[in-house]
Amino acid sequence: QVELVESGGGSVQAGGSLRLSCGVSGFMYRSSCMGWFRQAPGQEREEREALASLDTDGRIQYADFVKGRFTISKDDAKNTLYLQMNSLKPEDTAMYYCAADKGACGPYWYQTNYFPYWGPGTQVTVSS
């Protein structure tokens, strides 16, 4: 059974940092496309924003609005995906989700309906 569980969310002031973790179990983590998304208050699930993806060959892609502030990485020994978030802004306030798909990332990885597996999310709140 595929399971993703996020952790590391919390409340921080603008300019602060957080590192999110996503524990993965139940499938071939090393041969899967992994991604981070977020859903702001008032948004529907279909409106989740893609933040970053990490492909099976190590290729990384970022949304333009997080480049230079967010970093995606993984620890294969721990079956854990990370999202380091620096210089946080109030507009980064959202529920953050990790997602997975078996196999390499496709060209439409940034679409919410691309990933079949999702975690329950972790809340990030940034105050001004």
What is the average per-residue pLDDT within 90-108?
95
Rounded Cα gap, residues 11 and 54, in angstroms: 26
Judge whether residue 28 has pLDDT over 90. Answer: no
Q: Which residue reads 């854990």 in tokens? A: 80
What is the average per-residue pLDDT within 78-107?
96
Q: What pLDDT is stored for residue 61 in this prediction? A: 97
Judge whether residue 29 has pLDDT over 80. Answer: no
3-state secondary structure 33-68: EEEEEEECCCCCHHHCEEEEEECCCCCEEECHHHCC
Rounded Cα gap, residues 112 and 73, in angstroms: 20
Rounded Cα gap, residues 105 and 86, in angstroms: 25
What is the average per-residue pLDDT within 121-125?
98
Average pLDDT, the chain: 95
> The tokens of 90 are what?
């109030």
> The tokens of 18 are what?
């957080």
In terms of Cβ atoms closer than 10 Å to its own Cβ (0-12, 13-18, 19+), residue 44 is exposed
**Are 78 and 28 within 8 A, CB to CB?**
no
Which percentage of the chain shows pLDDT scores above 90?
91
What is the average per-residue pLDDT within 58-74?
96
> The tokens of 100 are what?
């997975």
Ramachandran region, residue 58 (left: φ > 0; alpha: ψ -120 to 50; beta: rest) = left
Judge whether residue 92 has pLDDT over 80. Answer: yes
